[in-house]
């Protein structure tokens, strides 16, 4: 599975919004870098490794009693091999994401398998579907290759090591095919999300449909548990309930994200932008002060206009804290561009940009604001991260 976070909104305040933090760092063992991607082993993985020993150790012991305690090492080898299969799955997500231009932040191996975390990106349904399919298909390919090798290999090689290989092949079939099921948070759910998104042109609707499909899968998993009387096997019961609970909670999280997207996509950049006035970067602060004061007389109600400057492929916004430090005697010689916060020129959107896309723009560049520019190239306003945060908190 992979994780492409929605915008992370902090509680809005009266101060100028700052870029959202990257979020708490996952706890676990850092295994280093792989293909330039940070690799972490979450503490919860050791629990699944223990369950693997409990499940498969006794089975192997019955099959190969002459090995004694070595059967536990074989079972542990299965746990490690399963982790490596999950790693292949996540690396496939990461490489596909990179090919799509997505920033890969880390791969985490966890209790329920793992996830690849991407930074906030501006994406469309097609790359979302392709990146999601890369993971499970990598496991299906591994399983198919392994199955082919089994068919052409002599039976004389059968033994404990061979049994371990068979288990890993089966695990890759399950890992690949199960993740193709059409419901969030499984990878197949991302495909459903992308298809509905493409048909309705609403990411929020796609997420909602895929999340409810995920909840349906969780319910069916529990129904199968009862019908097949798996509850008579304690270890299998625990693992099945963990999987069903993981899917159900992940689907619930996706529904909450969909509500946020729905609220944001109901607005447009032109409707949430604060008023703005554009000046040349060389304009003295004193002239900017006088112009803004003239535009916001006693009868004015609303936001004080943001001061925007553009020059040589960059766009800037007056930083009030820097401007306040300029003494009155110097405001006639200090240019507004010298006390502005500058960003690349692509920190602009058109007035009709939906709120969800606005959030993606802000998060992908880790910016606190974005300028709204109309078809004639005129700055019509500035959308602030904290204003979108207030909208999101109403969801």
Angle separating helix axes 234-265 and 203-227, nearest 10 degrees: 160
Q: Supply φ then ψ for residue 3, to 5 degrees.
A: -125, 120
State how far the Cα of 47 lies from the Cα of 83, in Å rounded to an integer: 13
Comparing CA positions, the residue from 185, 172, 175 lying closest to residue 215 is 185
Look up residue 45 and give its two tokens.
């993985």
Give, in order, the Cα–Cα distances in Å from 350 to each of 206, 361, 364, 383. 24, 12, 17, 11
Residue 218 near residue 184 (C-beta atoms within 8 A): no
Q: How far is 221 from 80, CA to CA, in rounded Å?
A: 26
Question: Is 343 within any annotated ligand binding site?
Answer: no
89 is known to lie in a ligand binding site: yes
Residue 90 bears catalytic tag: yes
The answer on whether 330 is annotated among ligand-binding residues is: no
How far is CA 149 from each of CA 138, 152, 155, 289, 349, rounded to the nearest angstrom?
A: 17, 5, 12, 77, 54
Residue 356 backbone phi and psi in degrees, to 5: -65, -40
What would the two tokens of residue 304 be?
């004080």
DSSP state of 157: G
Residue tagged 């078809």 (tokens): 375
Catalytic: which of 90, 193, 363, 386? 90
Cis peptide before 185 (omega within 30 of 0): yes
d(C-alpha 45, C-alpha 114), whole Å: 9
Bridge partners of residue 115, in order along the sequence:
108
Known binding-site positions for Zn(2+): 89, 93, 187
Report, as residue numbers or ranges, the catalytic residues: 90
Known binding-site positions: 89, 93, 187
């Amino acid at each position: 599975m992979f994780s492409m976070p929605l915008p992370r909104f902090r509680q809005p305040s009266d101060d100028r919004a700052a870029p959202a933090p990257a979020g708490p760092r996952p706890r676990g063992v850092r295994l280093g870098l792989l293909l330039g991607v940070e690799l972490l082993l979450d503490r919860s993985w050791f629990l699944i490794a223990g369950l693997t020993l409990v499940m498969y150790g006794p089975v192997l012991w019955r099959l190969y009693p002459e090995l004694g305690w070595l059967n536990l090492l074989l079972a542990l080898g299965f746990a490690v091999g399963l982790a490596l299969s999950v790693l292949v799955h996540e690396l496939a997500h990461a490489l596909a994401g990179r090919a799509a231009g997505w920033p890969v932040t880390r791969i985490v191996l966890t209790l329920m398998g793992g996830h690849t975390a991407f930074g906030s990106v501006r994406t469309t349904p097609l790359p979302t579907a392709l990146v999601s399919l890369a993971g499970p298909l990598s496991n299906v390919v591994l399983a198919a290759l392994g199955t082919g090798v089994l068919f052409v290999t002599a039976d004389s090689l059968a033994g404990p090591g061979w049994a371990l290989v068979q288990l890993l092949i089966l695990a890759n079939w399950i890992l690949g095919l199960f993740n193709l099921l059409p419901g969030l948070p499984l990878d197949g759910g991302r495909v459903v999300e992308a298809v509905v998104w493409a048909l309705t042109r609403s990411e929020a609707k796609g997420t909602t449909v895929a999340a409810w499909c995920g909840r349906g899968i969780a319910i069916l998993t529990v129904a199968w548990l009862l019908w097949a009387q798996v509850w008579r096997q304690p270890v299998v019961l625990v693992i099945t309930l963990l999987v069903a609970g993981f899917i159900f909670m992940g689907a619930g999280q996706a529904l909450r994200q969909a509500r946020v997207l729905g609220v944001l996509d109901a607005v447009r950049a032109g409707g949430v932008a604060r008023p703005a006035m554009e000046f040349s970067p060389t304009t003295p602060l004193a002239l900017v002060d006088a112009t803004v004061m003239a535009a916001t007389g006693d009868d004015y109600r609303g936001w004080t206009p943001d001061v925007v400057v553009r020059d040589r492929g960059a766009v800037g916004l007056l930083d009030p804290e820097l401007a306040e430090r300029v003494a009155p005697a110097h405001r006639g010689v200090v240019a507004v561009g010298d006390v502005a916060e500058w960003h690349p020129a692509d920190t602009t959107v058109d007035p009709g940009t939906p709120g969800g896309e606005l959030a993606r723009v802000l998060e992908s560049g880790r910016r606190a604001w974005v300028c709204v520019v109309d078809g004639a190239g005129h700055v019509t306003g500035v959308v602030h991260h904290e204003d979108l945060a207030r909208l999101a908190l109403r969801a």
